[in-house]
Amino acid sequence: MSDVKKFMFVNRKAPYGTIYALESLEVVLITAAFDQDVSLMFTDDGVFQLKKGQQTKGIETKNFSPTYRALEGYDIEKLYVDRESLQERGLTEDDLLVDVKVLSRAEVGALMDEQDVILSF
């Protein structure tokens, strides 16, 4: 595809309770495969998607959290987390299973302004 746009995926929902996080990740991978400029933003309950140590055997559901670690292999390296959302949930960067850039809300807002397409599910 010749036209490259800046796509940001804003994740505000926790995993497993609903399918949004998993199906959002599927779009992220395809968007990167189409050579678009992809970034992921995790805010509100969306930060729970990146929590280390997810064990899903007991709910008989696939643990898709390793996929976040595989994103680098698809050249998806822009992962951002809203600091306030982490703090509100008693989490720190050490609780997360991938390297992310932790941002203030002002920084998140400025980054959103740079995007061509913002998708949220």
Partner 1 sequence: MLHIINRSPLADKALENCLNTATGGDILLIEDAVYAATKGNAFESRLRAAMGKFKINVLRPDLEARGMADRLVDGAKLVDYAGFVELAVANKTCQSWL
Partner 2 sequence: MKFGIVVNEGPYQHQSSDSAYLFAKAAIEAGHEVWRVFFYHDGVNNASKLTEPPQDDRNIVNRWTKLAEEHKVDLVVCVAAALRRGIREENLATGFRISGLGQLVEAGTKSDRLVTFGD
Residue ranges that bind partner 2, judged by CB under 8 A: 1, 3-5, 7, 19-20, 23, 26-27, 30-31, 33-34, 36, 116-117, 119-121
Q: Does 37 bind partner 1 (CB under 8 A)?
A: no
Whichever of 94 and 113 has its CB closer to partner 2, that residue is 113
Partner interacting with residue 70 (select from partner 2, partner 1, none; CB below 5-8 Å by kind): none
Half-sphere exposure of 55 (CA within 13 A, CB side): 2
Partner interacting with residue 17 (select from partner 1, partner 2, none; CB below 5-8 Å by kind): none
Q: Does 31 bind partner 1 (CB under 8 A)?
A: no
